Amino acid sequence: MSKKYDVIVIGAGPAGYVAAIRCAQLGMNTACIDRWVDSEGKGRLGGTCLNVGCIPSKALLESSEQYEHAGHALEQHGVRLKGRQLDLKAMMARKDRVVANLTQGIQGLFRANSVDWLKGEGQLSGQGRVRFTPHEGEAEELEAGHVILAPGSVPVELPSAPYDGTYVVDSSGALEFDKVPGRLGVIGAGVIGLELGSVWRRLGSEVVLLEAQETFLTFCDEQIAGEAQKIFTRQGLDIRLGARVKGSSVDRKKRKVVVEYEDGEGTHEERFDRLIVAVGRRPATDGLVAPEVELTLDERGMLHVDDYCETTLPGVYAVGDAVRGPMLAHKGSEEGIMVAERIAGQATEMHYDTIPNVIYTLPEVAWVGRTEQALRAAATPYNRGVFPFAASGRARAMEDTTGMVKILTHQETDRILGVHVIGPQASELIAQGVIAMEFEASGEDLARTVFAHPTLSEAVHEAALATLGRPIHM
Ligand code: FAD
């Protein structure tokens, strides 16, 4: 007789493992299947985010920032260091330790919540049925009251620049270089390309980003994107817009990658020591659903879901990168919680309008809600309040005055429609905008809130005051 669970989750990334823990907390007998293995062949929880995404990239961003600061930024504070040296092996080992600790932490959470971790491949084989093929042993059919699909995503491959695992790599390969490339090409100047390009530039690479779009960070507020482009260019990132890659070849003898691209001025050739391809991700749904199961996927393999993440098959849900919406860890986790609670009979909803986005460069870029160009395009009447960090006492004390906070409010209702930050600790500051929008705050609400002095948060306060035309420190 096949084994039966209340819930089976396929995928233990931030969408799946959070869903599994919440189901278990709500009293459901839960299993979570994942096929991830580490370099020694051992099962790993945490998916892309913990193993090759959010966490290792932030570990390296942090280390490379420390390295860069040790170079000159500290001198402005009167701190002089002699003989800065890079120990890349130690830096990578620290990153691996951080990842290992966190993935083991999820194992502990599974144990504490009695979630069964099944190591191997999962496939939806019918309504309430999952075929589980363990890494070792025979496949078995499992039954479940409900199934949650959380297979995540994988990097998109460019036919003009196929991965070879050494010279041409995806984002995972770019987290593992064993020496700093002299000249590094990055195809794609999106979030991942910018973060990884920044890591290696800080460590000494000459970085060229080839971006097919004509405008920089099209999904950001245009004022913030313009500011970011200026700052990143000043830092030494060579950002080439409207650059469409036509082909590439690896010259193994010379240990170079040759990339050919086209822009408005013609065809160009560039030589790099390494090439990172970071042109987006696609749902990892190949083989996830048995052919005989009628479940709707779009042409890219995205699982079709309703507002509550239920698929076209009753009792089967899908969350995370493999369903519509931004490919972000926190979006997937919240979907996981919503689904678990809805299975348990609760009426949980999630607000997609208030999902924060962050680019962890230096300065960081963060935003929530609508951009100014989107409001203009929709003919929504709005007020804009901008406060530069150059006018913030705390930012001056930190010697970190790049960027600004920008708040957009509805001209008639004063409701906050968007908050955009470029500057120090933008990733933390944006939570204030998220909370304000979640509670449907007005510009006046933020303007009348007392903020501690001196803090970077005062820039949020001042930007809110500016939407009302009455900033104090500007
Ligand atoms: P995943 O994390 O991809 O996990 C899916 C899991 O499902 C995997 O473990 C996989 O092994 C398993 N799986 C898939 N199919 C099967 C199957 N058939 N059987 C068994 N197991 C299966 N997001 C942020 O919010 N913040 C960041 O700072 C950030 N930085 C990033 C940096 C990089 C370099 C990258 C690549 C991504 C980053 N992301 C970031 C995106 C983030 O990693 C993803 O949005 C997130 O991991 C998606 O979670 P998920 O649970 O949907 O899928």
Span 268-296, pLDDT tens digits: 999 999 999 999 999 999 999 999 999 98
Annotated binding site for NAD(+): 188-195, 211, 280
Whats the size of the chain, residue-wise? 474
Which pLDDT tens digit goes with each residue over 363-399? 999 999 999 999 999 999 999 999 999 999 999 999 9
Pocket probe for ligand 1: among 9, 35, 37, 48, the residue whose CB has the most ligand atoms within 8 Å is 48
**Beta-bridge partner residues of 382:** 410
User: Is the model's pLDDT at 73 over the cut of 90?
Assistant: no
Q: How far is the CA of 19 from the centre of ligand 1 (A)?
A: 14
Annotated binding site: 58, 122, 188-195, 211, 280, 321, 327-330
User: Is the model's pLDDT at 459 over the cut of 70?
Assistant: yes
Pick the CATH number of 356-468 from 2.60.40.10, 3.30.390.30, 3.30.450.90, 3.30.530.20: 3.30.390.30
Query: Could you confirm whether domain 168-279 is CATH 3.50.50.60?
Result: yes
- Output b/e per residue, 420-430; b: 16+ Cβ within 10 A: bbbbbbbbebb
Q: CA–CA separation, 236 vs 238, rounded Å? A: 6
Q: CA–CA separation, 471 vs 474, rounded Å? A: 6
The confidence score (pLDDT) of residue 58 equals 98
Active site residues: 453
The confidence score (pLDDT) of residue 315 equals 96
The confidence score (pLDDT) of residue 470 equals 96
Angle at 341 between CA 338 and CA 343, to 5 degrees: 110
> 0.90 exceeded by the pTM?
yes
The confidence score (pLDDT) of residue 75 equals 86
- Output b/e per residue, 26-41; b: 16+ Cβ within 10 A: bebbbbbbbbbeeeee
Annotated binding site for FAD: 58, 122, 321, 327-330
For the chain, give the mean pLDDT. Answer: 97
- Written as one letter, the residue type at 324 is R
**Percent of the chain whose pLDDT exceeds 70:** 100
Nearest CA owner, ligand 1 atom 28: 54
The confidence score (pLDDT) of residue 7 equals 98
**pLDDT band at residue 1, thresholds of 50, 70 and 90?**
low
User: Is the model's pLDDT at 349 over the cut of 80?
Assistant: yes
Of the listed ranges 65-79, 366-380, 424-438, the one predicted with least confidence: 65-79
**Beta-bridge partner residues of 126:** 129
User: Is the model's pLDDT at 168 over the cut of 90?
Assistant: yes
Please choose, from the candidates 120, 269, 275, 256, the residue with its C-alpha nearest in 3D space to the C-alpha of residue 196.
275
Give the pLDDT mean for 411-426: 98
Nearest CA owner, ligand 1 atom 8: 47
Structure-block tokens of residue 252: 């193994």
Q: How far is the CA of 346 from the centre of ligand 1 (A)?
A: 27
Q: Given its phi and psi angles, is residue 255 left (phi above 0), alpha (psi -120 to 50 degrees) or beta?
A: left
For the purposes of burial, counting CB atoms within 10 Å of the CB of 123, is it exposed (0-12), middle (13-18) or buried (19 or more)?
Answer: middle
In the chain, list all ranges with CATH 3.30.390.30.
356-468
Q: Which atom of ligand 1 is nearest to the CA of 46?
A: 9
**Cβ neighbours for 374, distance < 8 A, ≥ 6 positions apart:** none
Angle at 341 between CA 3 and CA 132, to 5 degrees: 25
C-alpha distance from residue 95 to each of 53, 59, 64, 313 (Å): 12, 5, 11, 41
Q: How far is the CA of 321 from the centre of ligand 1 (A)?
A: 7
Is the Cβ–Cβ distance between 442 and 413 less than 8 Å?
A: yes
Which pLDDT tens digit goes with each residue over 218-261? 999 999 999 999 999 999 999 999 999 999 999 999 999 999 99
**Overall fold of domain 4-155+282-344:** FAD/NAD(P)-binding domain (3.50.50)
Q: How far is the CA of 330 from the centre of ligand 1 (A)?
A: 11
Pocket probe for ligand 1: among 33, 49, 107, 359, the residue whose CB has the most ligand atoms within 8 Å is 49
Q: Report the 3 state secondary structure along the chain.
A: CCEEEEEEEECCCHHHHHHHHHHHHCCCCEEEEECCECCCCCECCCHHHHHHCHHHHHHHHHHHHHHHHHHCHHHHHCCCCCCCCCCHHHHHHHHHHHHHHHHHHHHHHHHHCCCEEEEEEEEEEECCEEEEEECCCCCEEEEEEEEEECCCEEECCECCECCCCCCEECHHHHCCCCCCCCEEEEECCCHHHHHHHHHHHHCCCEEEEECCCCCCCCCCCHHHHHHHHHHHHHHCCEEECCCEEEEEEEECCCCEEEEEEEECCEEEEEEECEEEECCCEEECCCCCECCCCCCCECCCCCECCCCCCECCCCCEEECHHHCCCCCCHHHHHHHHHHHHHHHCCCCCCCCHHHCCEEECCCCEEEEEECCHHHHHHCCCCEEEEEEEHHHCHHHHHHCCCCCEEEEEEECCCCEEEEEEEEECCHHHHHHHHHHHHHCCCEHHHHHCCCCCCCCCCHHHHHHHHHHCCCCCCC
Q: How far is the CA of 437 from the centre of ligand 1 (A)?
A: 27
**φ and ψ at residue 195, rounded to 5 degrees:** -65, -45
Nearest CA owner, ligand 1 atom 33: 53
Structure-block tokens of residue 191: 């979030």
Of the listed ranges 67-81, 88-102, 312-326, the one predicted with least confidence: 67-81
Q: Which of residues 269 and 76 earns the better pLDDT score?
A: 269
The confidence score (pLDDT) of residue 81 equals 86
Ligand 1: residues with CB < 6 A are 10-16, 33-36, 47-49, 53-54, 57, 121-122, 150-153, 171, 192, 284, 288, 320-321, 327-330, 332, 360
In the chain, list all ranges with CATH 3.50.50.60.
4-155+282-344, 168-279
Q: Which atom of ligand 1 is nearest to the CA of 333?
A: 51
Is the Cβ–Cβ distance between 269 and 260 less than 8 Å?
A: yes
- Written as one letter, the residue type at 18 is V
